[in-house]
Homo-oligomer: A and B are copies of this chain.
Amino acid sequence: MSKLVSSLREAVALAGLRDGMTVSFHHHLRNGDYVLNMVMEEIARLGVKDLTVNASSLFDTHAPLADHIRNGVVTAIQTDYMAAGLGKEISRGLMAKPVQFRTHGGRPSAIADGTTPIDVAFIAAPSADPMGNCTGKFGKSACGSLGYAFPDAMYAKKVIVITDNLVPYPLQDWSIPEIYVDCVVQVEAIGDPKGIVSGTTRITRDPVGLVMASYAAKVIEHSGLLQDGFSFQTGAGGASLAAAGFLKDIMLAKNIQGSFGLGGITGYMVDMLQAGCFQSLLDVQCFDLKAVESIRTDPRHQEISALHYASPSMRSAVVDSLDVVILGATEIDTDFNVNVHTDSNGYIMGGSGGHSDTAAGAKLAMIIAPMSRARLPIVTDHVTCVSTPGKDIDVLVTQGGIAVNPKNAGLAARLKDAGLPIIGIHDLKAKAEAMTGAPKPLRKGARVVAEVVSRDGGILDQIYSVPEGQ
């Protein structure tokens, strides 16, 4: 018995794909992913139309989706993140139906409860056996964790595994078990290793970034949370990584035994594990080769599903136990609402990912961002798009001062006592505007091109088209 089929075309036919259905993809191969394009090209050739694409994230490598939209193959998109290339086209009005943005926790929740049913899930698997047991830990296209693919595999009506490393049954140390898999397709390559993970993620050397990072580490140090059992998530941006570096030094100096590091995992988090700052890493996605090597070889570094990471509708998720998260922003307003969906001209160039989920779960949710970018202040009266509501954000760290959300008065007092440069968010806005000037208000286009769905399923905001010339 084997579930191997001879081609992607045969797999799609066996899955019974028809007009109007939903197909899904995960994004662990990131900008090196070949699978989404390969599958959509085959589907287009088969003449199937009017599909919904539900992808955990979309990168610039997925630019061919624009043609599938123009040709009516794809008429709806659900995703947690969209890079600037496709984002720009969507913002200019490429699609009739608004894109639905969810979060990395809201997506699996909506899949599990039937809000966004999946007809056929395509799992890009760096290793698989002929019955469909598969993993991201091994193979020439190794990407580490397959965390975001779990809900797709568990709940889709049909599940197709696509691999470029077929191994004899049974694959050892599988992530997704055969019980969910309908068929397996072997292809030459599922991705370009250079795009799948960066060789290494890099700490910033920019002086402004280092100042912010140092403040961020001190905020954590004096937050009251940095004690034995401490848990932490940070992104892969240069300043966030630098903050993790400073935090590591503080933890080692104070001999603090943390419990876990969470999230998309970088080599810097692996360093912290190995240095004894954490007991475990809980990993929904690997960002670099060091993280991939670690999840493959270190039993303390464990894969978690997107459901386990962040779903608000399971009995609990790891984000509910998180102490501190460091997050980014393209804008933050004086109510601490954060935008990570659109750029300074209003074009889509991102998405929540795990932003809202970790902000909601963590005891301390910190935004780290420079006071201004491209001569535009980071603090505004109202963000262009609410990606994460201000009620879930505790503090904004910039090189020009640290603004604490008034809801967390205790934190403000502790940081002031520690001698950190606390500043009101309105003052911070004024300080930035004194340097950059007040920004011109953005013009909104006439159409809603995307909806931001909050992690628990409500409509958080709408994103409008960008008018010509902006």
Contact = CB atoms under 8 A, between A and B. Distances in A.
Given A280-B172, A300-B172, A181 B315 contact: yes
A291 interface: no
A321 B179 contact: no
A173 interface: yes
Given A316-B1, A317-B179, A299 B169 contact: no
Contacts of A259: 168-170
Interface stretch (A83-91, A189-197, A306-314, A405-413): A306-314
Interface string A176-194: 0111111000000000000
A3 B316 contact: yes
Contacts of A279: 168, 172
Interface string A264-302: 000000000000000110100000000000000001101
Contact of A132 (B159, B229, B315): B315
Nearest to A361: B1
Which 5 pairs of residues, A with B, have the shortest CB-CB distance?
A179-B314, A178-B316, A177-B308, A179-B308, A179-B307
B314 A172 contact: no
A181 B178 CA distance: 24
Interface in A214-236: 229
A280 B133 CA distance: 14
Contact of A302 (B1, B172, B179, B299): B172
B179 A260 contact: no
Contact of A131 (B280, B307, B316): B316
Interface in A198-216: none
A351 to B, nearest CB: 23
B173 A299 contact: yes
Nearest to A179: B314
A307 to B, nearest CB: 5
Contact of A282 (B1, B170, B229, B314): B170
Interface in A133-169: 159, 168-169
How many copies of this chain?
Answer: 2
Nearest to A108: B179
Nearest to A300: B172
Contacts of A181: 315-316
A60 interface: no
B1 A320 contact: yes
Contact of A321 (B1, B282, B305, B314): B1
A318 interface: yes
Contacts of A302: 172-173
Point out which of A3, A181, A318 has the most chain B C-beta atoms below 10 A from its C-beta: A318
Given A132-B316, A168-B229, 5 more contacts: A1-B316, A3-B316, A172-B302, A173-B299, A179-B317
Contacts of A177: 304-305, 308
Interface string A1-37: 1010000000000000000000000000000000000
A304 B315 CA distance: 22
Given A131-B316, A159-B315, A316-B1, A321 B169 contact: yes
A315 B307 CA distance: 21
Contacts of A1: 316, 320-321
A340 B99 CA distance: 58
